[in-house]
Amino acid sequence: MKHQLNKPLYKDVESIQWHPTMEHNLVLTTESGHLVGFDARKFTKPVFSIQAHQKACSAASFSSHISNMIATVGTDQYCKIWDVHHVNPEGVPEPKCVSKRNLKQGELFSVQFYEDIPWVLAAGGSKGEVAIWDTEESETIK
């Protein structure tokens, strides 16, 4: 099964991540900085699409223990934590950024939550080092 994303907004997909517990849900990140959520059963229209980063959104990672928590990284040097189950006042799904941090690794290209500790993630970037972030330090994430 092949699906074409015809909108220029979704041009140059950077990464795709399946939700670890919601088998039909996935997100993709784009060179234009967007985070786009899909239900694979209805792939013709996204569930949500947000401008997650000012530059390319390089990667995303779902927490395997906290179903509404996703991290994104971008070439704008930021790692952001999102609540993907947030709904705007009009009742439309719209992820909400609950925390962000410049991890001091230059442009960020990869991110992954630690499977056994739901709050900890690692990210890597153009400085060739790995940054570890215990996101539980943030009051807005708790």
Strands 57-62 and 69-74: antiparallel
What pLDDT does 1 receive? 47
Report the pLDDT value the prediction gives residue 32, as an integer from 0 to 100: 95
For residue 118, which amino acid is it?
A: P
- Asked whether the whole model's pTM tops 0.85, one would answer yes
Q: Residue 130, Cβ neighbours under 10 Å: how many?
A: 12
Find, among 86, 77, 12, the residue nearest to 50 by Cα: 86
Please name the residue that has the structure tokens 């985070």.
35
Label residue 88 left, alpha or beta by phi (over 0 means left) and psi (-120 to 50 means alpha).
Answer: beta
| The predicted structure's pLDDT at residue 138 | 82
Write down all domains in the chain, each with its CATH number in brackets. 8-137 (2.130.10.10)
Centre a 10 Å sphere on the Cβ of residue 4 and count the other Cβ atoms it contains: 8
> What 3-state DSSP class applies to 40?
helix
Tens of pLDDT, residue by residue, the chain (142 residues) = 455 555 555 679 999 999 999 999 999 999 999 999 999 998 888 999 999 999 999 999 999 889 999 999 999 999 999 999 999 899 888 999 999 999 999 999 999 999 999 899 999 999 999 999 999 888 777 6
